[in-house]
Amino acid sequence: MSNLGVNIGKLKLKNPVMVASGTFGYAEEFKDFIDLKKLGAIVTKTITLKPHLGNPPPRTCESPSGLINSIGLENPGIDIFLKEKWPFLEKLGVPIIVSISSLNNPEEFIFLVKRLDKIKKLAAIELNISCPNLGSQFSVFGSRFIQKPKLIAQDPKATYNLIKRLRKFTQKTLIAKLSPNVTDITEVAAAAKEAGTDCISLVNTFLALAIDVKTQRPKIATVTGGLSGPAIRPIALRMVYEVYQKVKIPIIGMGGIIDTFSALEFFIAGASSIAVGTANLINPEITIEIIEGLKEYLKKNKIKSIKDLIGTLKV
């Protein structure tokens, strides 16, 4: 029988298929569509210290083979999350990974990590230091556009400094979710590893723009948004491959996974596990279908463990 089990830091998964943050809500929204207990892990929608309404609409639009979104981390804040969302999640019997971020002050990460570290049943913490949708990426100043400051994950030094500090406050598995909007993804990945992260999540969305030619206005209220879906898969795969070659740390691969074969590409490129994002919005059962597909692939090709497939790209 083929073994789908993988390890990410202290976290042991019965299978390597999880759902990506932001596309699965807080899991309860999908309870009528799939058996949540079959998932390898669930990553929650990103939580911030205080409640946040997110960005103004329109916040999503379709693009060729993809989706552009600028939700802006809409969430109820840590207090309401623990009171209203966590009770359902902790009873599932599936590893729960809580994604956290900061809207303005990186110090908020410390408060969130300290709070979550006290929750025994919490499996891991994802550090979302790469969301491109925290308000408009550009602000109007007269007739010019001025780019806002870098994301933490766009600066290796900032990434190192934050994770190094957070590592002191928890022994739980830390996952650093990195941005693809960089020159060299391996530099940031190496900084995250050196600082003490247990795993790297690759990749978050690509900064993108869509225009309504009738109105000559952006289709997204914040002008730009994050592009996800099959359109980004070849680039995401390249980044996973590059990091796997240079940084020896578990990788959660994501970016346009829509079926078993696209999931397999990420394992072959070097990912230890995968997360399904945009595809959940198209087919709520896709994660279960991928789990079954991986079993069949291993059986058909006489591969004993999914671990034997990781990083097997022949160049």
DSSP class per residue in 46-114: PB-SS-B--PPSP-EEEETTEEEE-----B--HHHIIIIIHHHHHTS-S-EEEEE--SS-THHHHHHHH
Cβ burial 240-254 (10 Å sphere, 16+ → b, else e): bbbbbeebebbbbbb
Q: What is the DSSP letter of 123?
A: -
Which three-class secondary structure state does DSSP give residue 302?
A: coil
Judge whether residue 149 has pLDDT over 80: no
Task: Summarize pLDDT for 21-55 with one digit per residue, the tens.
Answer: 999 999 999 999 999 999 999 999 999 999 999 99
Structure tokens at 41: 């892990």
Structure tokens at 111: 């408060």
User: What is the β-pairing status of strands 217-218 and 199-202?
Assistant: unpaired
CA nearest 30: which of 77, 75, 92, 78?
A: 92
Mean pLDDT across the chain, nearest whole number? 94
Residue 281 CB neighbours (<10 A): 15
Cα–Cα distance, 258 to 196 (Å, whole number): 31
- For the chain, the first-to-last Cα distance in angstroms comes to 29
Q: What is the pLDDT of residue 258?
A: 98
183 alpha carbon, distance to own chain's centre: 20
Task: Summarize pLDDT for 296-307 with one digit per residue, the tens.
Answer: 999 999 999 999
Phi, psi of 200 (to 5 degrees): -120, 135
Q: What is the pLDDT of residue 132?
A: 80
Judge whether residue 147 has pLDDT over 90: no
| Nearest-10 Cα torsion for 237, 238, 241, 242 | -150
Cβ burial 153-162 (10 Å sphere, 16+ → b, else e): bbbbebbbeb
Q: What is the pLDDT of residue 145?
A: 38
Report, as an integer, the average pLDDT of 271-295: 98
- Asked if residues 287 and 273 have their Cβ atoms less than 8 Å apart, the reply is no
Domains of the chain: which residue ranges?
Answer: 6-56+72-207+228-309
- Picking from 50-54, 76-80, 144-148, 206-210, which range would have the lowest pLDDT averaged per residue? 144-148
Top pLDDT among 41 and 103 is at 41
Judge whether residue 139 has pLDDT over 80: no
Judge whether residue 242 has pLDDT over 90: yes
Residue type, 237: L
Report, as an integer, the average pLDDT of 69-93: 97
CATH node for 6-56+72-207+228-309:
3.20.20.70
Catalytic residue among 131, 158, 191, 257: 131
Angle between helices 233-246 and 185-195 (to 10 degrees): 50
Cα–Cα distance, 306 to 289 (Å, whole number): 16
Cα–Cα distance, 67 to 205 (Å, whole number): 10
Judge whether residue 141 has pLDDT over 70: no
Q: What is the pLDDT of residue 148?
A: 52
Task: Summarize pLDDT for 174-220 with one digit per residue, the tens.
Answer: 999 999 999 999 999 999 999 999 999 999 999 999 999 999 999 99
- Asked if residues 92 and 37 have their Cβ atoms less than 8 Å apart, the reply is yes
Residue type, 51: P
Top pLDDT among 2 and 92 is at 92
Angle between helices 107-117 and 156-167 (to 10 degrees): 30
Judge whether residue 76 has pLDDT over 80: yes
Judge whether residue 1 has pLDDT over 90: no
Q: What is the pTM of this model?
A: 0.94
Top pLDDT among 153 and 134 is at 153
Which three-class secondary structure state does DSSP give residue 211?
A: strand
- Asked if residues 26 and 44 have their Cβ atoms less than 8 Å apart, the reply is yes
Cα–Cα distance, 313 to 266 (Å, whole number): 10
Cα–Cα distance, 179 to 113 (Å, whole number): 21
Judge whether residue 136 has pLDDT over 60: no
- Asked if residues 110 and 165 have their Cβ atoms less than 8 Å apart, the reply is yes
Contact partners, residue 143, CB within 8 Å, separation at least 6: none
Which three-class secondary structure state does DSSP give residue 219?
A: coil
- Is 61 annotated in the active site? no
